[in-house]
A = this chain, B = another copy of it.
Amino acid sequence: MTLDAVLARIDADLPQSLDRLKDLLRIPSISTDPAFNADCARAADWLVEELRSLGFEASARSTPGHPMVVAHSDGPAVAAGRHLLFYGHYDVQPVDPLNLWHRDPFDPEVQDTPKGPVIRARGAGDDKGQFMTFVEAMRAWKAVHGTLPGKLTIFLEGEEESGSPSLIPFMKENAGELAADLAIICDTGMYDDSVPSITTMLRGLAKTEFTIHAANRDLHSGMYGGLARNPLTVLSKILGNLHDETGRITIPGFYDDVAELPDQIREQWQALAFDHAKFLGDVGLSIPAGEQDRTPLEMIWSRPTAEVNGLWGGYNGAGFKTVLPAEAHAKVSFRLVSQQDPHKIVPAFRTWVEAQLPADCRVEWHDAVDGSPASVMSIADPAFEAARAALTEEWARTAAYVGAGGSIPIAGYFKEYLGLDALLIGFGRDDDNIHSPNEKYDLESFHKGIRSWARILAKLA
């Protein structure tokens, strides 16, 4: 069985795979700091050479920012003509504060820890160690089969940590070249240290900022207090009404486009036995604060939210000022799920606020409606169940479809600009310290990650 041969090859080649990862980790490709521009270009060139050595037709494509690495295999399309597009990013976060690192962030080293060996360096977990699992799986596949596993495009950007400014223009300009049937994104984590995961639901986001105006100037609370409207009280009353006693959001129509969780997903989430007491306890909290008839995982993965992110008005300096201010301000955002549309949710909120306004107040909205809908992958695509089975075999634990409370913008971009659903699979762990000092990636994640891709491609091919 050739899969066994590929897996054996991966195991035998692990020290060399690790050496190649270390070479890449030694390049300080910090995308946010222009001092490292040449290093970003060097990382792109290194990857182009690497992919060419595997038989890809690869190039570093210039952008107004850092290069995009695009590589194509000329093999046959996998599984009934499917063309896969794999995404990762070779840029890394800055390393400040450097004094908190125990060693040079760009001198990678394998270290033993109580939970097993890890490779420690900036970028080990986000995202070089992750996407190199795919590249190394390609190498073993090629060594055993003599060819790459079907029709593949590899697409690696160098600006993910600085907001991907070139990504959408590049996708638009090269939509034909990037055309594929399914995206694979390797930049997420596992549900926990032992449960491999495919992220299939990501919440969207909508936001708005407003000012409530009452009197035409600040008033003295002695002279006017009790007779004149206080906009801080008006704002408190409105925002205090945002959730009812059961935690449900009270804006009319807010839940209209929210779908119930599919039974298959609900059962999987129940099987995860999420320890919300620990999750909340780690940040000093204890009580699930959302809709009381929902499970904690639903609250963060599949239910929408309305949150006040900023609130201010009146006097906030030292001491006291007995002022009735003229204005009160708030920033409010919504995490969206299912088919909720930012262009319906924000106007519904505005209407709801305005309906509660006393006749001698007015509200000023500060921004155009801005936001993005949720990403919900169609798990009806057989590639999902195939990938889940492959992950389950490799990790000897049932792989889970999981949600993510926040957006991963790249998943939305693939959908919007290339029309692709994405298989979001990664092997990161909660304690990887991504974006922080002493970032690491578990050797187990690296090794089983490579093996996981070999199994996934064997199922899809």
Contacts and interface: CB of A to CB of B under 8 A. Distances in A.
Given A227-B276, A239-B240, A240-B236, A333 B320 contact: yes
> Main SS of the interface on chain A?
mixed
A49 to B, nearest CB: 37
Given A310-B321, A333-B322, A225 B287 contact: no
A313 B311 contact: yes
A227 B311 contact: no
Contacts of A102: none
B229 A405 contact: no
Interface in A127-184: none
A279 interface: yes
B237 A288 contact: no
A308 B303 CA distance: 33
B320 A230 contact: no
B300 A310 contact: no
A315 B216 CA distance: 25
Contact of A222 (B225, B279, B314, B404): B404
Given A331-B314, A405-B226, A358 B287 contact: yes
Contact of A236 (B226, B290, B311, B359): B311
Interface residues of A, number: 77
Interface in A290-306: 290-291, 296, 299-300, 303-305
A286 B227 contact: no
A420 interface: no
Contacts of A227: 276, 279-280, 288-290, 296, 299-300
Given A217-B283, A283-B215, A312-B312, A235 B236 contact: yes
A59 interface: no
Interface string A236-276: 11111111000000000000000000000000000000001
A335 B228 contact: no
A308 B228 contact: no
A229 B289 contact: yes
A1 interface: no
A399 to B, nearest CB: 21
Q: By CB atoms of chain B within 10 A, which of A207, A216, A237, A291 has the most?
A: A237
A355 interface: no
A220 interface: yes
A443 interface: no
Given A309-B321, A311-B328, A322-B207, A223 B285 contact: no
A406 interface: yes
A41 interface: no
B285 A214 contact: yes
A78 interface: no
A335 B221 contact: yes
Contacts of A287: 229, 358-360
A299 B405 contact: no
Given A226-B290, A307-B322, 11 more contacts: A223-B406, A228-B280, A232-B309, A233-B242, A240-B241, A286-B360, A287-B359, A287-B360, A309-B314, A309-B321, A310-B321
26 contacts: A207-B322, A215-B284, A217-B284, A221-B333, A222-B404, A223-B300, A223-B406, A224-B283, A225-B307, A226-B305, A226-B335, A227-B276, A228-B289, A229-B289, A230-B308, A232-B239, A232-B308, A233-B242, A236-B237, A237-B240, A286-B359, A307-B322, A309-B314, A310-B323, A311-B312, A314-B331
Interface of A: 203, 205, 207, 209, 214-217, 219-230, 232-233, 235-243, 276, 279-280, 283-291, 296, 299-300, 303-305, 307-316, 320-325, 328-329, 331, 333, 335, 358-360, 404-407
